[in-house]
Structure 1
Amino acid sequence: MACAVLASCSSTSGSAINPVNWITPYKVDVIQGNFVSSEQVAQLRPGMTRDQVKAVLGTPLLASLFHTDRWDYVFTLKRQGVAPQSFKYAVFFKGDQLERFEGDTMPSEREFISRLDSKRKMGKVPVLEATEEQLKAAEKSSAAKPAPSEAATSLPAGPQTTVYPPLESPKQ
């Protein structure tokens, strides 16, 4: 019976109607590489040293032994329900000096963060501040409680020692 129902659901053309499509496995977000923002790219200037470029952009994702004059910065982000994002940027050196740089049009940090919004709606946030009435009620309830006895709050007169069993067996 269940197979017949599922088979009939799969034959419908609308995927939203098919209950099998309602259940999807959780997919982990995959973040790889270094994100390079448009603000960082704006700081690059020809003639900068490798250390200066590394200070601005971070460690390159790809630095080939065969192409020592090129550093590649690649950033990919794959999230469930969102189209994969990929950004590539390359910097080229002549000796130890930055010669040129090129790549995708990089978003600003603010634009990139706005793309990360998962559109999940959180529940109602509770009020984190007590009202005056709640504070007064708390004062009244604490004043109505009897004070703890002096003997219960005082510390013992002498130091207490605790005896623990030996860690090794006595047969050794």
Structure 2
Amino acid sequence: MRSLLASLPLLALLGGCSYLPTWAKLPSVTGDKVLGFVTPYRVEVVQGNVLTKEMVARVKPGMPRAQVRDLLGSPLLTDVFHESRWDYPFTIRRQGAPEQHRLVIAEFDGDKLKTLTVPDDLPTENEFVASINTFKPDGKQPKLALTDAERSALPPPKKSAEAAPTAAAEGPAPGRTYPPLDAAPAKTGS
């Protein structure tokens, strides 16, 4: 009897929780937010082959399959029933960046490339890097090479008066001797 009386207030509290006014209910998971303000971590998903305008521009009709594979990489999809078609799909989902979906299709006539179907929104290499950069630094691209003017302004390399001796000219290091490689191992007495 005592346990029944002790459990009544607990049952009343649990029953009251099911009825909350609409203003007291917490928002649930909506879109990218949990409880309306917390953004959970989403795993980055990259699938397929990244192809850019520069990569596709090198591929010309009439190229053999091996050369197309060297330039674009191995196709993600090849079908036994459609051996003349290679599909290069690409999908990327990153937190803080819009999803990207592209499909490049290579069709062959025998061993030679017949057509290459390329989407209109295929980015250049710099555009692709900028689209996946979620850190958004100052926007300046790093300098990767010197200009001809900068290269000509560099001082010429200094030449030393003495040529550095080579290891072959000096011979083995002092104090080290090695047996010939073709010599038979020495027999121990028995």
TM-score when normalising by structure 2:
0.54
- Look up the match of 2:69: 54
**Alignment partners' CA distance in 2, 1:57 and 1:93:** 14
**Alignment partners' CA distance in 1, 2:48 and 2:119:** 15
- Look up the match of 1:110: 126
Larger radius of gyration: 2
CA contact (8 A) 1:9 1:19 kept: no
Amino acid at match of 1:99: K
Q: Partner of 1:72: helix, strand, or coil?
A: strand
- Look up the match of 2:14: none
Residue 103 of structure 1 and its aligned partner are, at CA, apart by 2.6
Alpha-carbon spacing, 1:5–1:102, altered in 2? closer, same or farther (3 Å): same
Bigger Cα displacement from structure 2, 92-101 vs 22-31: 22-31
Q: Partner of 2:74: helix, strand, or coil?
A: coil
Q: Partner of 1:83: helix, strand, or coil?
A: coil
Higher relative contact order (CA 8 A, sep 6+): 1
Count of equivalent residues: 116
CA contact (8 A) 2:88 2:104 kept: yes
**Alignment partners' CA distance in 2, 1:6 and 1:42:** 62
Residue 87 of structure 1 and its aligned partner are, at CA, apart by 1.1
- Look up the match of 2:51: 36
Amino acid at match of 2:114: E
**Alignment partners' CA distance in 2, 1:66 and 1:74:** 18
CA contact (8 A) 2:97 2:131 kept: no
- Relative to its length, the structure with more strand (as a share) is 1
- Specify which of 90, 98, 105 is matched with residue 105 of structure 2: 90
Unaligned runs of 5+ in 2: 1-17, 138-190
- Specify which of 118, 129, 135 is matched with residue 119 of structure 1: 135
Q: C-alpha root-mean-square deviation of aligned residues, in Å?
A: 3.0
**Alignment partners' CA distance in 2, 1:19 and 1:30:** 21
**Alignment partners' CA distance in 2, 1:70 and 1:82:** 31
**Alignment partners' CA distance in 1, 2:85 and 2:38:** 45
